Amino acid sequence: MTPKEKELLIRRIWVVITYVVLLTFALVYLMPFIRSLIASFMTWAQASRYPPEWMPSPFTLENYQKLFRLELFPRWIRNTTLYAGLIVAGNIMFTSMAGYAFARLKFPGRDVLFSALLSLLMIPMFVTLVPNYIIIYKLGLIDNIFGLALLGLTNVSSIFLMRQYFMSLSTEIFEAARLDGCGPIKSFFYIALPLARPALGAVAVYQFLGSWNAFIGPLIFLRSPENFTLPVGLSFAFQRSMWTEYTPIIAGSLVASAPTIILFLVLNKYLIRGIVVTGGKG
C-alpha cells in the first residue's frame, strides 16, 4: 500500500467513525419521538406493556379519533395560537426596543441595569410563580389568556439576543443616520429595525416554540377547560382519577407539535443565526 492510499484509507475510516457516532446520538435523541409516533397507533394496553413492543398490533387510529371527538380540541388550538401570537408579538416589540436601548443608547446606569437583567436568568421560574400569580390575580386576569400572555411579553434571553445583534451592526451606520437627521427613535425605526430582521426571526421562532409547548404557566394561570391551551387541555382530557390514558395524549402531542416542526424546518437558519449571534442558547 502506498502512503497515499494509506492516508486515503485512514480518512475513510475516520468518516465512517464520525458517521457512526453522529447517527448513534441522532438515534438516541430521536428515540422518544419515534416511540411516540409508533405508540400513537397502539392501544394503551399494548403501549404500556413491558418489555416495550415496536409493532402496533392491532394497528389503530382510535387515539386520533378520540382526539378529534373532543369538543374542545379546536378551541384549545385557537387558544394556543392566540397565546403564542401574543407572546411572539410582545417579544418582537419589546425586546427589540430594549435590546436597541442597551446596545445603542448611552444613559446612566445602563450597564448595571443590563447586568441586573441578565442575573434574572439565574432565577428559576418557580421562585417567581407565586408572586406572579398574586399579581395576575389582583389584576383580575386569572383564567384569561391575556393575563397569562402578560407574563411572557418580554424575555431576558430575547433582549440579550437583540442587544448582541444590534451591537454587531456597524456603529458608523448609526452615526451616519444621526448626521442625516435621525434621533434615536427615528434611527430605531428606519435603520435598526429593518436591519434586525434575522434576529427578530430568531426571537419569533424561539418564542413561538416556547409558548406553543408551554405547560406549567397555562396549567397554573388557566382554570376553565374552555380556556386551556393544547398541552394542558390534552393532559386534562385524558387524565382519569387513578390513571392516565397516555396514547391519546401522545397522538395529541404529535398533532400539536406539527406546526413547530414545520416552523423549524422552514426557519431553522434563523434559529442557527440566533445561536451564532448570542454565542450560545437563544
Partner 1 sequence: MARVLLKNVTKKFGDVIAVRRLNLEIKDGEFMVLLGPSGCGKSTTLRMIAGLETPTEGEIWIGDQLVNEIDPTKRNTAMVFQSYALYPHMTVFGNIEFPLRMTGAPKQERAKKVKEVAEFLGISELLNRKPSELSGGQQQRVALARALVREPEVFLLDEPLSNLDAKIRTQMRFELKKLLSYDLGITTIYVTHDQVEAMTMADRIAVMNKGVLQQVGTPNEIFYKPANTFVGTFVGSPPMNLIEGEIIVKDNKTLFNAGEFLLELPIEMEAREKVILGFRPQHVEVNKDAKEGFVKGKLLGIEKLGVESYGHIPYGNLEVVVQLPESMGTSVKEVHWKPRADRIYIFDAKTRELIYG
Phi and psi angles of residue 120, each rounded to the nearest 5 degrees, phi first: -60, -25
Shortest spacing between CB 192 and partner 1, in angstroms? 10
Single-letter code of the amino acid located at 80: T
Number of residues in contact with partner 1, rule: CB under 8 A? 17
List 131, 140, 181, 279, residue binding partner 1 (CB under 8 A): 181
Shortest spacing between CB 196 and partner 1, in angstroms? 10
Shortest spacing between CB 170 and partner 1, in angstroms? 6
Site for partner 1 in 118-177 (CB under 8 A): 170, 172-173, 175-177
Which one of the spans 61-69, 131-139, 188-196, 219-227 is the region binding partner 1 (CB under 8 A)? 188-196
List 35, 75, 78, 178, residue binding partner 1 (CB under 8 A): 178
* 20 grid coordinates: 457512526
Which one of the spans 12-20, 44-52, 93-101, 187-195 is the region binding partner 1 (CB under 8 A)? 187-195
194 forms part of the interface with partner 1 (CB under 8 A): yes
* Chain residues in the site for partner 1 (CB under 8 A): 170, 172-173, 175-183, 186, 190-191, 194-195
